[in-house]
Amino acid sequence: MIVDKQGRRFRNLRLSLTAACNYACTYCVPDGKRLQAASAELEGEEMVRAVSLLVYGAGIEKLRITGGEPLLSPKFDEIIAGVMALPLHDVALTTNGQLLPRKADLLVNSGLKRINVSLDTLDANRFRAIARGGDLATVLQGIELMLDANVKVKVNMVPMRTANAEQVLPMLDYCLERGIELRFIELMNMGHLKHNAGYTRDFIGMDELLDAISARYEFVRTDAAYDSTSIRYEIPGHGHFGIIANESEPFCSACTRLRLSSNGYLYGCLSNTECHDIRPLLSQPFHLALNALQEILRNALADKQNLAFSGEVTVMKFIGG
Ligand code: SAM
């Protein structure tokens, strides 16, 4: 197992099935750009092989399937079947929820136990303005279907001052009523936001969020796993919520994440453009590929930031948000 000086190793893999998406969220995609698949994306079979290699060669225990929009990919069915057969402790999915009603049976039958749905507002007009695609009612229907099938649902919301700040409490109420853990993601200084004044204008930090929530609820901070990115709070008698405080309370020093892009590159850090092509390994005999992987993993681990997320021009949808 490769471990760095800070004791970090890779344990969590985020697999981006495709860079294509049926949304064009304002914080992810620059104006006027639509989301297309990256050129030369891996085949489904290659992705499953890559995950298998990383399970055995990197010590990956937890997998999150993401994108782009993973449910949009024609490879999804093959990949979910393939990875569910691997010795992973946990497999989860991050989706914008637009295709959940269509994919509900497949997801439930696959044995997937939990999903995260990205949803920034309960207001249909705001929804259209942020996502620039999709339909709010369809996402809400998809969430209900998952809950009815006993799939554990978390909701991810990116609060932004000029887009959805007034939705913090309505979103929290909606989630608490359904036993859903809402996770607020602090706006990240990535992609086109990296050089955009809109980032500073729209950023809402953890303290401000907690202030807003304290207007309605009392809460206490709870323990979280060592490498958890979310700071969890309990609202006694109501449920939990979390904050992914990239800026306010960075978690780089305990980061165990590795990302595989849809075109076969490993990224050791969201905040670093360095990446490592593993496509050539996927056609090699497994034991040779495992050996060759070790050097790549050492380099990918060295790409991690030491203390804090500094932001990068890399786009979330390409490297797996
Ligand atoms: N399409 C899927 C979805 O919407 O959940 C998966 C990919 S999306 C890139 C994954 C997550 O990244 C979403 O929850 C989205 O809100 C988040 N995200 C993208 N860009 C972000 C940014 N600049 N700051 C914070 N979160 C961001």
Residue 188 has pLDDT above 80, yes or no: yes
How many domains does the structure of the chain reveal?
A: 1
- From the CB of 17, is ligand 1 less than 6 Å away? no
The per-residue pLDDT for 129 is 96
Query: What six digits make up the tokens of 138?
Result: 């369809």
Give the mean pLDDT of 197-201: 89
Distance in angstroms (rounded) separating the CA atoms of residues 93 and 65: 5
The answer to the question of residue 1 being in a domain is no
- Sheet of 239-244, strand order: 220-221, 231-235, 239-244, 181-185, 152-157, 114-118, 90-95, 62-66, 12-16, 257-260, 265-267, 276-277
The answer to the question of residue 116 being in a domain is yes
The per-residue pLDDT for 298 is 96
Confidence grade of residue 313 (pLDDT, cut at 50, 70, 90): low
The answer to the question of residue 4 being in a domain is no
The answer to the question of residue 41 being in a domain is yes
| Average pLDDT of the chain, as a whole number | 93
Confidence grade of residue 78 (pLDDT, cut at 50, 70, 90): very high
What is the number of the ligand 1 atom nearest to the C-alpha of 28?
20
- From the CB of 190, is ligand 1 less than 6 Å away? yes
The answer to the question of residue 148 being in a domain is yes
The answer to the question of residue 5 being in a domain is no
Q: Which has more pLDDT, 223 or 281?
A: 281
What is the number of the ligand 1 atom nearest to the C-alpha of 316?
9
- Helices 286-302, 44-58: axis angle to 10 degrees equals 70
Residue 312 has pLDDT above 70, yes or no: no
Domain with 65 in it = 12-319
Q: Which has more pLDDT, 31 or 13?
A: 13
The per-residue pLDDT for 311 is 66
- Could you tell me how many helices (H) and strands (E) the chain has, helices first? 10, 12
Nearest residue (by CA) to ligand 1, atom 4, is 96
Distance, CA 165 to ligand 1 centroid (Å)? 17
Give the predicted TM-score (pTM) of the model. 0.96
Confidence grade of residue 196 (pLDDT, cut at 50, 70, 90): confident
The per-residue pLDDT for 37 is 66
Distance, CA 312 to ligand 1 centroid (Å)? 15
> What is the domain-level CATH number for residue 151?
3.20.20.70
